[in-house]
Structure 1
């Protein structure tokens, strides 16, 4: 029996979960998935093959920097997907590995499995989007914070803490602030944690990760306050808006629910989401009774802080917004599961409890796979439509350097290798006069939904219906191009 237990403990559970996560991404999510709207914005900032799209105030450049080495070598989307899938699996392992000295080997592995098994985690693992990377940075940051207060903590632990907070802030500035806030508060509230070194590490990471965002705020917007004001306007006006209902309705898709007026899909598959806060609070109560609350209460507090902007400050939702919350809450849930199994007596009862929980996990993962298939199909349909419109624009004569304006100009422009511009909406970056002047010097197409008619500045441009895409492209007439006409198909 002793030999069997020792062998059981030597199994690299977390490495197996991370490896399975990589394989699942490459098999289920990464193949043939084109680039989404936000991805084209982030990637265009560092892609030497395409003009940079307008970068709005709320965005941060961390994910662009992560993808930059790949784009410097190749513009292949499958290669980018493969690299990001492998990197996200490695990051999953590294983030939850931080917790091994705190929780042992099995509980961090179970937490990683709970998080990696979500359809949102699987879908966004190989994508150039910041939310998953904020999530894993947050997991690492909270783990390093707890380890930083141990008597044997080394300087490397403080560097890990500062680095994790800095990474979260670099990937998404606002999320980094919401993560740092409860950690800094804990340094002041908990007597045993009133040490300057961890607080300085958090503040240093926040400053380092936010330096680029702050510098850009002064260069492009005139200051932090001006950028925050522009960010609020882009988000539809930050204020007290209860978005919990929107989050629930978008739990199984759509990928962006704005405005969120669609009915809930698969309501029977939302039980895990409704049970999650109950499980987290139960885990806190059990931990308080056991006299070891820190490893459970702090992740819950940080998860609650990170959920604030997406639950009460905006009036729309997207499933990816809550990835940092899920990543942190997976830890107390895994701890609760472990304590429940260990508390069962005698051995046959423990085996029955473990078997029942394992069956629930299998059911949960199966339902997540069902939703993943649907949302992956939706994403492929959307990106396929972008590619089809870009192909049609090329047949109409648009070749770089060129300009795409109007509906969905940013992703379609990226696919076509053209610059993009808008005269209205959240991505407004030019005026009609400047746009018309630019259209004189380079091939230009204005896009509109097929039934909406041309934009005001393109009333006398030639309409080209792009069949099967739902778009109409409006091109200046030959006499409007002194540099030469745009050729027909």
Structure 2
């Protein structure tokens, strides 16, 4: 394996080294400007009026929040719960949690771009940061209690630290430590992502002749992968019957892993579907995926431009790592969620930025303002599309918050107050908003039987939530039924409340 670094012209003293290890850091204000814009855009567009969704309620409830811990299914990892624990342990305020994550994500974006400064010019990093931060999926998940964006930051940090660690003279041990920490963090957040991140880095360290003499990077990568996976593996034996049993159950919950062609699913999800499962829906608003089809062309152009500029190592390694991270989501899982590919987009933003800057630099100086203006206009049009999709996704999140807040108030008026339990449809978010535990006798949970729920109802309030007009389980057939508040366009829910609940009490 050889990393291309050929250049058509002699290298001058101002040219970067092959891995960028000796590049003098440039002025950082463009990176800070991108991070500040990212924070402000989240605060204005992605935060107001939103509430916690199903997955967020699961993660927050593990470390505090508004309700007892929800069932933690086999595929999940606790890294994101650890990330929000400093806030969630002290407050159940969704607004405070959102603000904390907004500020933290802005700092993380600045931090990962900053550590790349010895590798790539600041102008490349600033353009890459703007491209990544401008995606609706990046803005949407910045303030949310979900692990994927943090995996993206970790992947970008890992590749940057790797390149700095293998660069001559190689006396600085900080990049090696940073590499191990980044891989460990990604693995702690999503073990599978940690594996697919580590594989190309280990391969590069072992196959590129100039890097074989440096044991630090592969050792740090492997150590980070192992350390990050330890909590998940230990929990497999303490709570899931062993590692093999947890892996098997995780595969079942994720839809039985195998060979799938999910590219079309991801294209359809770009219209604003946060989860497309099953993704047998019409392809709505094809214009929302235009950038996705242009992405491979821009990456190829960026690779060519980077090689010619003497920065091919960084562009190639980022692209190869992105391909590794994309592979399981595009070809082994039969559904799609835009957040899955956030680490891919973060890494591919680097060669795309190289392409954009190369296009501007290739024209005559007199025409550069015109070309730059055309590219800026195209980027603004792209941002307008991203804003439209973001507005749709955030609007749905707001309607869900209104519905679940109304449901929680209605159940509270019926006497469903802590200590209480919710089961049935949407039992996790309804339980969280109500302050109740959430239990289910089937599906991903299966942590209790119907007989167990019936016994539980003798001692504490229990709400069985079903689709409006549907019959409840047999043990709740004689309980009072109430129609719950619904969101516009929703069929709504009915709640069968156990006699142990005391309306108006408390």
Aligned counterpart, 1:230: 249
- Secondary structure of the corresponding residue to residue 192 of structure 1: helix
Contact (CA 8 Å) 2:47, 2:98: kept in 1 or not?
A: yes
CA distance in 1, matches of 2:227, 2:418: 37
CA distance in 2, matches of 1:107, 1:290: 12
Query: Comparing 321-330 with 333-342, which one deviates more in the overlay?
Result: 333-342
Aligned counterpart, 1:472: 494
Deviations 1:394-431 (A, max 9, x none): 11101100000011101110000000011111232221
- Secondary structure of the corresponding residue to residue 241 of structure 1: coil
Provide the aligned length of Structure 1 versus Structure 2. Answer: 474
- Secondary structure of the corresponding residue to residue 402 of structure 2: helix
Question: Which of 299, 303, 324 lines up with 2:318 in the alignment?
Answer: 299
Question: Which of 137, 140, 144 lines up with 1:127 in the alignment?
Answer: 144
Query: Comparing 292-301 with 442-451, which one deviates more in the overlay?
Result: 292-301
Contact (CA 8 Å) 2:27, 2:122: kept in 1 or not?
A: no
CA distance in 1, matches of 2:148, 2:483: 36
The reply to whether residue 15 of structure 1 matches residue 37 of structure 2 is no
Question: Which of 277, 281, 290 lines up with 2:300 in the alignment?
Answer: 281
- Secondary structure of the corresponding residue to residue 119 of structure 2: helix
TM-score of the superposed pair, with normalisation by structure 2: 0.90
In the TM superposition, 1:401-440 aligns within 5 A as 401-440=419-458
Q: Which 5+ residue runs of structure 1 have no aligned equivalent?
A: 1-8
CA distance in 2, matches of 1:428, 1:107: 50
Aligned counterpart, 1:173: 191
Question: Which of 48, 71, 76 lines up with 2:93 in the alignment?
Answer: 76
TM-score of the superposed pair, with normalisation by structure 1: 0.93
Aligned counterpart, 1:4: none
Aligned counterpart, 2:353: 334
Tell me how far 1:208 sits from its aligned partner.
1.6
Tell me how far 1:467 sits from its aligned partner.
4.0
Aligned counterpart, 1:377: 395
The reply to whether residue 315 of structure 1 matches residue 337 of structure 2 is no
Contact (CA 8 Å) 1:390, 1:412: kept in 2 or not?
A: yes
Root-mean-square deviation (CA, aligned residues, Å) is 1.7
Higher relative contact order (CA 8 A, sep 6+): 2
* CA pair 135-11 structure 1, distance change in 2 beyond 3 A: closer
Question: Which of 51, 68, 72 lines up with 1:51 in the alignment?
Answer: 68
Aligned counterpart, 2:201: 183
Aligned counterpart, 1:137: 154
Aligned counterpart, 1:244: 263
Contact (CA 8 Å) 2:66, 2:433: kept in 1 or not?
A: no
* CA pair 369-48 structure 1, distance change in 2 beyond 3 A: closer
Deviations 1:90-144 (A, max 9, x none): 0011112221111111111111100000111111101111010000110111111
> Which protein has the bigger helix share?
1
Aligned counterpart, 1:356: 374
Aligned counterpart, 1:368: 386
- Secondary structure of the corresponding residue to residue 438 of structure 2: strand
Tell me how far 1:455 sits from its aligned partner.
3.0
Aligned counterpart, 2:178: 160
Question: Which of 46, 51, 66 lines up with 1:34 in the alignment?
Answer: 51
Aligned counterpart, 1:462: 480
Tell me how far 1:301 sits from its aligned partner.
1.0
Tell me how far 1:39 sits from its aligned partner.
0.4
Tell me how far 1:152 sits from its aligned partner.
3.2
Tell me how far 1:70 sits from its aligned partner.
0.5
CA distance in 1, matches of 2:169, 2:144: 38
